[in-house]
Every structure is written in structure tokens, then in C-alpha cells.
Structure 1
Amino acid sequence: EVIVAVFLPPSIDSIIAVLAILKAGGAFLLLNPLANKKRLDSIVEKTQPSVLLTWQELIEDLPDSDLSIIVLDEKLLSRTTPGGEDLKAGTTLENLACLLFDPWKDEAPLGVQILHKGLLNLALWFRQRDRLAARDYLMEISLDDPGSSLWVLLPLLIPGKVSHFTASDSLQRRAVPAKLSWFRLLTASKQPQTRRPSSLPIEVANNLTVNEATQVAFCGIVSRGSRDRAWHIQREPVSNASVYLLDNYMNPVPVGVPGEMYIGGAGTARGYLREPDRTAERFIPHPFTDEPGARLFKSGELARYLSDGSIEYQGLKSNQVKVRGYEFNLHVIEHALQEHPSVWHVVAMVCEGEGQASEKRIIACVIPRQKEAPTADELYAFLKDRLPHCMLPSDYMMLEGIPSSAFGMSELRALFSSEGGSGTQAAASGQP
């Protein structure tokens, strides 16, 4: 279980490096060169990898440490000759395969320990569910950290059927190669795709990412249903995963009632690296089985059962807010706004102003699809027939990108609190 860090952007070299580490019996740790350097330093300090793989041009951006470094260049690769026999690494299903860190959190990093059995289960599930054939084209698109999410491609590579993958914004920009006659789009995100672009011959499959469940916990196909209800995406759990929706007293909730997701099965991680207390807090003994050592992961995510038995994701439990005397989940607002044809991505937040604006207000931070952003009046008119009055945002702020960290989001909240909500676009007339 030797940990090897890979300090590379998503590329052919990073995929080869990960496969080589696994083949040699090690565990890989993906480090995103674009991530905050202070955070990278803390991750390296916590994990203490034995060696780091990178490119020569990235040497100056490396985390501060005394790591042994291997530079991947043409000279090194030219000295490498493939052997005639497979390596006998001696790894088992219970051995460590990789470490994952949540890119959205600026708190002390928690390294999720993913086991080989979880990775193998995910790979076999992909192959069985998609019935991969030689003609298939698979694209992995992530709205999260591209470095950490690259490893999700591994289950797609293992069957040997991946023909094409691209960056996260290519579909939105209609940059899909014209020669592709059919392909399946896979998204890995907390905020899923909610519709299929009619101009592209694709099938969209959303993967709900939970690191502690070996990244992919649920998957659902996006239908061509009514646009204003398209965020109600039905999702099915990964094979060999047990999912329970429980209330605060660990009782199963009835159909239609939101409950916290608890996830168990083959994909359940070993726990958090060198964090026994946090592991015991989130990985609890399985109360519904007699299997020795079985555990459930307490996800902090809300979901509910639909009448057909499928599961509908409701968002983070921490996104449950109370504004103007009404309690609701900000995730619903985000999904509703993302249905607007000119909106690509949305993050809703609650801010508390000062003085006369001291009451809590809902702010919608929007990334538009085109340079010409929709107006606040246009977005308000779009939402007023889709959401209750109490859930309508007070302000809309057009951004080029959403901050990918808790610190960045707190800065945005501070901006609205101090300036009374004056963003790039003011509140629409008639809004709360």
C-alpha cells in the first residue's frame, strides 16, 4: 500500500501513471496542478507519499516537501521496455487502491481510502449496465475538480471500450467532434445535467459522486420530459450497494419523505486516512445486517423514494435553510434556474445583510451559457411560475466561474452582506 502522488493535469500520461501504480501494487493520489498550493501542501503533509510523478514544466509548481520525484519525459519512457509477464503485486480486494480528497472543502483535508474491491465493483457495474460495445463512445464530464475526478475514467478504461473523452465545458459549447454518430455522456457532479441538448445525438447519464462510496453512488438517465420538472431525475444505486434513507432516529422514511442517505456495500471506503475519530463518526456499524464488520456511510445528503422505487436526490442536508419563516433546500432553486436555456451552472446561497437589509436573502450566482447573460427580470419571470414566492432569489449575480472552495463561497457571501446585495445585476422589480 505504497502511496504514489500523480501531479499531472488530465492527460494520457496521468491515465498511464495511474494504471502503472495499480499494476505495481501501489495506491495513487491525484494532485491537481491548478489547485490551491496551500491545500496541496497540507494534502502532501498528511499523506506522505513515497514518490511523486510529474512533468518537467510543473516542477516549479510542486508542493513544498522533500518527496522523491520522477519526471515523466521522452528519455525516461524510451528506457522503459514492456516485460513479457504480468507483475505479481500480491494485492487483494481489501488493499488500498487510491486516496481521494474533496476539492470543495477548505477545512483540514480528509483522505478517503478507496479499496480495490470498490474500484473493481464500479468497473464491473459500468460494463454490465452500459453493455459496452466496440462502437460505444463514452465521455466523462465533471463540474468538480478535474484532477481528482480523472480516476473515474478508470472503470471505463478497464473494459477497453472508451473511444473519446473531453473537458467539462465542451458539450455546453457544442464542441463535440462531428464524426461521433453516437455516444453516452457521463457527468460526475453534485449538480447534475437536467436535460439533453436536442441538437446532439446523446444519452445523458448522471453520476452522483460520493467519495466515501467509491465516487459513484447513484446513476440516472436524463429523459426528454417536461423541462420545468426535469430536475426530478430518477437515480438507481450502483450494483452491490445498499442504500437506506433514514430519519434522525435511524428509522426508514416512507415514500415521498426526504431522509438522509446511508450507503453500504462493496463500494464503502475503509475510512479517512489517519482520522480514527472522524471515521468512527461517519462510518457507523450496519444496523440492518448480521454480516460481521459491515458498515454504513452517513452521507449528509438528502434523498427520497419515488412511487416507482427509484431514488430522487434532494441535495446536501446542510443546504436546508430557513428564510422568511419557510424551510427548504437551496438545491431545488439551483435545479430550477439551471432549466433556463441561457444558464449553464448555478449556486444558490443565503446571505444576511446589515442595517435595513439585515434579513436573510437568497442570492443566485449564475454562469451563463453565452456571453450575453440573461437579465434579472428574465430569470425572475422564469422562476415565478416554477417556485413558491418564498424561494425566489432577491439578487442574481452573473459570474464567469463559481468558486471551487468554501473560502471562495464565503467571500461571495461577505460581498453581498457588506454591499447590501448589489451584484452585477440588481434584484428584479417585484421580487422579494
Structure 2
Amino acid sequence: MPRSDTGSLCDLFAEHVVRSPDAPAVAYGPTALTYRQLDRVTNSLAARLRELGVQTDRLVAIRAERSVSLVVGMLATVKAGGAYLTLDPALPAARSRTVLEESKPVALLAEAGGEDPSGLGIPVLTVAGHLGDAVWDSAAHDARVDGGATPDDLAYVVYTSGSSGTPKGICVTHFNVAQRTRDVDYLRFDPGDRVAQISNASFDAATIEVWGALLNGAELIGFDRDTILSPGLLARALRERRIDTMVVATPLFNQLAADDPATFATVSQVLVGGDVMGVSQANAVAALPNCTLLNGYGPAECTTLATAHHVTPMPPDQLRVPIGRPISNTTCYVLDEALRPRPAGVPGELYIGGDAVARGYLDRPDLTDERFLPDPFATEPGMRMYATGDQVLQLPDGTLDFLGRTDFQVKVRGFRVETNEVDATLLQHPAVAEAVTVADTDAQTGDKSLVSYYVTTAAGTAPETDDVLSFLRDRLPEYMVPARLIRLPELPKNANMKIDRARLPAPEKPSPVTAGAATGELDDEITALIGQLLNVPHFGREENFFDAGGQSMLAIRLLTQVGRRFDVAMTLAEFFEDPTARGIADHIREARS
């Protein structure tokens, strides 16, 4: 499709404002806007952004949870001609500052305003000031704000983990987004459909949710975090809100499908991506009538998605769910080190070409040239392909099978992590001399967690593990903080004096924890449950679940088991208030009383 015929995201959204102005566009909790109303509030905010100097290829940071404010900020930014950069409010201040220092946004949008959290003096705008009936019901805001963005201009920048110790920003254009969300063959987006918005704002899957809905006349339905992470609540909400399409990260899908496959029974299309899909979970959901399950694959450098596989029931002993075939406007090549095609059945590195290959990395021309290469197989001049670093092979039927990484990049809970970045952050600690991080896979669940090995400096006293963990939590997103830290006298080296990962000691597998059957006390029973889940012997009643290596996916599993065993519902938010065995036991006692 010629770029001149595609139009910017603003143009494509405007088509539906003209065609169906009173059709529902977005709903989060009590706030629901039609296409006309969403157009008006984003025109209002876009005009303010223009006053601040927003123009093509200039960034606007958005710091908001899943909310109407997030969607309004995204659309208003591209209307003003700029590109948005979403920041997770849970990011440590040091990492947010690093991202903001490099990206240099013109403004920062926040739900409730306040000061610039980075201390860089970035003007902060409150989105809520443009959200109200005085704006969305006023024809005075019908005049379109046109920042002059073209299909080749930036639409957004998303940051991912970087091997050098610094996160890197991926630059995605209007054209890239349109190719992924309009007239596509992997999902069906029709006017009037209801699309769930459950992805974290800083996770690139939100691209498919938000723009897949708004560029096709569908309605975007927001879900709060407690609902998303509570299987029973989510199943009921999907049914009550009549969701047609949802995109879900693989770790969350695996957890929900293992708990109750019927969670997805009322959803017409479920797109899963970000990690390795469990075969048994896939089979259970694929067997549901009237539910199409898709296993998607794609790096953020290729605008979220590159391949998709329509999952049908598989033999239970099958090792993996294929990642499928290239989706529309995409080409995939399995190549050797000399960029020669590999025959079917022979592993090689996956290279992705087509119209959704991103522009490159923000202010990183060296890294861009390394990973974004001229496409020698393209029929059009100037096309590029992205070197994924992933090993795949082509099956006899033409589908692709994912084998793993060629470098030290891993997926943890659906997030891409460069283990070298964790190492680089560890080495910033004044008492750490050497460090290496690896992914450990749970033999029973297949879940991956990070394990960091480190050597302390000769001078001074070795730091306590809690001190090192606290140091990392202040600098890394929660999903990048290792579940376990192991201090060694030295790291094993090979003959070339490089760290020999194969000789690292395996993380200790503790003996099973037995329940307090002798005392029969509720606290002991919960303590034993957590100890078994985390593989931590002698887990204490007052010990913090997350400090002991727990994370959100394990918390969901824990609360599901608690609910079944004690017939008591507990939300993740309630657990966060006191994430201890005693806290759960107190909640159960209070519910029973």
C-alpha cells in the first residue's frame, strides 16, 4: 500500500468521527465517550500541546495507568503532530529520569497533574482538565487540530531493556501502526466490536488494543488492574462487558487458562503473545466453542507483531505451540550467519521485513545500523529487515517454530529483558565487582525468573542481600529485579577468561515445606502454601512475599489457591496491603467473621 494512500493515524481516526460520530469509542469505568466526544477532548488537549511547541517527531511523555486519560493523551499527541512516550507510573524514579533525559519530551501528561517527577523541568499538563462535559459536549472543539503529521512521522517511542545497561527507545511511525491495525489478516476489527484494553500502558501490546479499536470504529473497553489479575473477576467482566477481542500477555494467559479455561469462553478472539504459550493451556482454550485463539510473536521493533498462529488442539506431548506465519504486510526469513536462507527444518535466525519495521532506535544510529539491515530479498528499493536474535525453524507446513534466543535476552512475564542490563546495574553498586544474570525455568510451570550471581569487592564488608535488592529496585522495573541473588567467591571462567554460564551453580532447590498440621493454625497453613509456591524453606509468617522472590503471576496463583482452599475471595490490591502469610490469614479470619 503506498504511504500516500495510508494517511496518518489522525486521518484514519477522523474517518470514523465523520462516519459514526455517536458510536461509542472508549469506556473506562463510569467514563464513556463517543467518537465525536473523544474527538473534541483530544482536539482541546492537542491545541494546548501545540501551544507548548509540540510538532512532528517531538515527544510527549504520558504518565498514566490504564485510563481514559491514557487514550486521550495518545490521540491528542499525534493530533498535535508529536509522538507519545508512555511511562509506567511504577517505574523507579532513576529509570524514569534516564528515559526522560534521553528522549527530551516537550511536555509530560499526567492524570492528576503535579510536578515533573524527573526534576528536569518538563512542563506537566493535567489530562483531567480536558475531560468533562464542558469540553466533550461543546461544538467549539469540533475544529480539527492538525499538527501536520504524515505517515512517515513518528507516532510513538517505546523503551525496552538495553544490553549496555541503558534502556533503548524504539521509534515507530504512523505508517507502521496503520499497517498493523488496519485491513489486517490476523484479527478482525469491525465497527461496533468491543476491544478490551488490559495491557500495561508501557507494553507495546497496547498499540494493537488502542489503535486496532479506534482506527476501525470499534469500542475500547478499559479494565482495571485488580480485575485483570483476578481470574474470577476477569471472567465475569469479560462476559458482562461483552468483549469481542482481547490481547493478553502469555504469562497471564498461561496462568488464567490453567486456573479456568472458561475465563475466555465468551470472547470471540484472543491474541496471546510475549512468551512461550503452554500447550495444555492452549489446548484447553482452543477447545472452547466460538473462541478463536491466536499465538502471536513479534518484537517491538516490528510494531508489536510479526507472525500469528491459529491454535487448534494439539497432541498433549507436543513441545511447543508454533508462532505461525507472517501476518499481512510482513515478510519473515530464516537465515544463517551469512544471511543465506535456511531450508525447512534447519534452525536459523529470524529476520523480519515489511511495512511495520520501525524507523530504528532513538538517537542510537550505531545500534540501529546493527539491527536494522537492508532487505536483500525485497522487491522494492529501500526496504529493511530487523535482525531479531531469535532462533526459529520452518516446519514442513510452512509455519515457524520458536527455539529461543541467540544472545542473553530473555522473556520474563512477557517483558523482554537484556540480562546484561541487570548485570550493568548490579555493577553500579559500589560493593559489587562482578555480576552475571541468567534465567531460571521452573520445571513444573515453565515460568522464568531471573537469578543474579555476583562477586563483591575485596575492600569493606560484603553487603546484605536485602541491601543489594533495594539498590536494584530503586533503578530497575519490578520485572527486571532478580528473584534470587547468589553471592559467589568468584564467577567461573572459561579458557578465554569469559564467564562460563554452564558452570554457574544451580540455584538451590530447597526441600518441600510441610504444613503446620500439628498445630492446625491458619497462619502455619498459609505459610506452608507460600513456601511451597516459592520453593523457600521455613518461610516466615511475617516475611514479605515479594522480598522472597514472589511476583504478580505467582501472587495470582497464590490467591487462586487460597480462594479454593478457604472459600474466600482476596484481590491483588488487598494482598499488596500486607503481602505476608499473616496478612492473608487475617483477611480470611475477617471474611469468615
TM-score by length of 1: 0.71
Q: 1:112 aligns with which of 166, 170, 190?
A: 170
Deviation at 1:114, TM superposition (A): 0.4
1:3 aligns with 2:3: no
Amino acid across the alignment from 1:67: I
- The SS at the match of 1:38 is helix
1:276 aligns with 2:365: yes
1:132 aligns with 2:189: yes
Distance 1:162 1:270, change over 3 A: same
Contact kept? 1:104, 1:404, Cα under 8 Å: no
Aligned to 1:186: 271
Amino acid across the alignment from 2:189: L
1:28 aligns with 2:84: yes
Aligned to 1:155: 211
| Larger mean Cα displacement after TM superposition, 71-80 or 112-121 | 71-80
Aligned to 1:47: 103
Bigger fraction of residues in helix: 2
| Larger mean Cα displacement after TM superposition, 94-103 or 44-53 | 94-103
Measure, in 1, the Cα distance between the counterparts of 2:390 and 2:330.
16
- The SS at the match of 2:102 is helix
Distance 1:146 1:86, change over 3 A: closer
Distance 1:351 1:132, change over 3 A: closer
Q: How many residues align?
A: 360
Amino acid across the alignment from 2:330: A
Deviation at 1:185, TM superposition (A): 1.8
Measure, in 2, the Cα distance between the counterparts of 1:312 and 1:130.
21
Deviation at 1:31, TM superposition (A): 0.6
Measure, in 1, the Cα distance between the counterparts of 2:309 and 2:176.
20
| Larger mean Cα displacement after TM superposition, 406-415 or 43-52 | 406-415
Aligned to 1:296: 385
Distance 1:349 1:8, change over 3 A: closer
Q: 2:482 aligns with which of 409, 417, 421?
A: 409
Amino acid across the alignment from 1:108: T
Measure, in 1, the Cα distance between the counterparts of 2:447 and 2:181.
31
Name which one, 1 or 2, has greater alpha-carbon Rg. Answer: 2
Measure, in 2, the Cα distance between the counterparts of 1:235 and 1:121.
19
Aligned to 1:240: 329
**Cα RMSD, aligned residues only:** 3.7
Aligned to 1:122: 180
Aligned to 2:114: 59
Bigger fraction of residues in strand: 1
Contact kept? 1:353, 1:417, Cα under 8 Å: no
Deviation at 1:410, TM superposition (A): 7.8
Contact kept? 1:305, 1:312, Cα under 8 Å: yes
Q: Which runs of 5+ in 2 are unaligned?
A: 1-56, 243-265, 411-437, 456-475, 489-503, 512-530, 537-593
Contact kept? 2:181, 2:208, Cα under 8 Å: no
Contact kept? 1:255, 1:305, Cα under 8 Å: yes
Q: 1:226 aligns with which of 296, 309, 315?
A: 315
Measure, in 2, the Cα distance between the counterparts of 1:135 and 1:208.
27
Deviation at 1:3, TM superposition (A): 0.8
Q: Which runs of 5+ in 1 are unaligned?
A: 322-330, 355-402, 428-432
TM-score by length of 2: 0.53
- The SS at the match of 1:101 is strand
Contact kept? 1:284, 1:296, Cα under 8 Å: yes
Measure, in 1, the Cα distance between the counterparts of 2:452 and 2:111.
43
Contact kept? 1:139, 1:185, Cα under 8 Å: no
Deviation at 1:171, TM superposition (A): 7.8
Measure, in 1, the Cα distance between the counterparts of 2:299 and 2:210.
16
| Larger mean Cα displacement after TM superposition, 188-197 or 86-95 | 188-197
Distance 1:320 1:89, change over 3 A: closer
